[in-house]
Structures are given as structure tokens and as C-alpha cells.
């Protein structure tokens, strides 16, 4: 018992085939251009991650200086200042492309 195709059915199927062909062509183009990932989303994600890491590094001295100073019998304020300076210099070097010293 075969179903007789109607002009509407044929038109719908042709449209679906054309959509799939267009998607295939688009994918082939992206593969050739090596752009399978949305570059803007990737860049935004990378920047957000870098900001989170930077924020964690900047707040690390305040979180750890007192404990480290107590363990090593150092002045907490002096150690905190040294850690803050080190973190800022390191982040500055990274942001300028020199890398950490």
C-alpha cells in the first residue's frame, strides 16, 4: 500500500533536501576555513576565564599572607606587600607579552 506523493509532499521534501544541502555546504566551508567554533564566543569565554584567574591571583596574597607569615615567623604586612608586588609584576609581565620573570 504505497502513498501517492502529492505536489505539496514533493515540494516539502525538496525544501528539506535543499536545507540539508545548504547546511552541508556551510559545514564544508567552515571546515576549509578552520572555523568550526564560533570565534567570538571562544574569545569571550577565554577573556572571562582570564579575568577570573587574574581576580583569584590578585586576592591570593590577602588570603594566604597571614598563614604563611605565621608559619615562617615573618611580619604579615611585609609578606603581604611582597606577595602583592610579585603578583602584580607577574600579571603585568604576562599582559605585556613578556611572560613571568
At 49-67, the pLDDT tens digits run 999 999 999 999 999 999 9
Instruction: Of 59, 101, 55, give the one whose Cα is nearest residue 84.
Output: 59
- The C-alpha cell at 68 is 604563611
Contact 84, 74 (CB under 8 A): no
What is the reported pTM? Answer: 0.58
What pLDDT is recorded for position 43?
93
Residue 86 has pLDDT above 90, yes or no: yes
Confidence class for position 1, pLDDT limits 50, 70, 90: low
Q: Output 94 or 10, whichever has higher pLDDT.
A: 94
What pLDDT is recorded for position 12?
84
Q: Report in angstroms the alpha-carbon separations of 76 from 62, 86, 97.
A: 10, 15, 31
- The C-alpha cell at 55 is 581576580
Angle between helices 39-72 and 76-95 (to 10 degrees): 160
Amino acid at each position: 500500500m504505497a502513498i501517492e506523493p502529492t505536489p505539496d509532499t514533493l515540494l516539502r521534501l525538496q525544501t528539506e533536501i535543499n536545507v540539508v544541502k545548504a547546511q552541508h555546504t556551510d559545514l564544508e566551508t567552515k571546515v576549509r576555513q578552520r572555523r568550526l567554533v564560533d570565534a567570538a564566543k571562544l574569545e569571550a569565554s577565554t577573556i572571562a576565564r582570564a579575568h577570573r584567574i587574574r581576580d583569584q591571583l590578585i586576592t591570593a596574597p590577602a588570603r594566604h599572607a597571614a598563614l604563611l607569615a605565621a608559619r615562617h615567623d615573618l611580619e604579615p604586612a611585609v609578606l603581604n606587600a611582597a606577595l602583592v608586588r610579585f603578583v602584580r609584576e607577574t600579571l603585568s609581565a604576562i599582559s605585556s607579552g613578556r611572560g613571568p620573570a
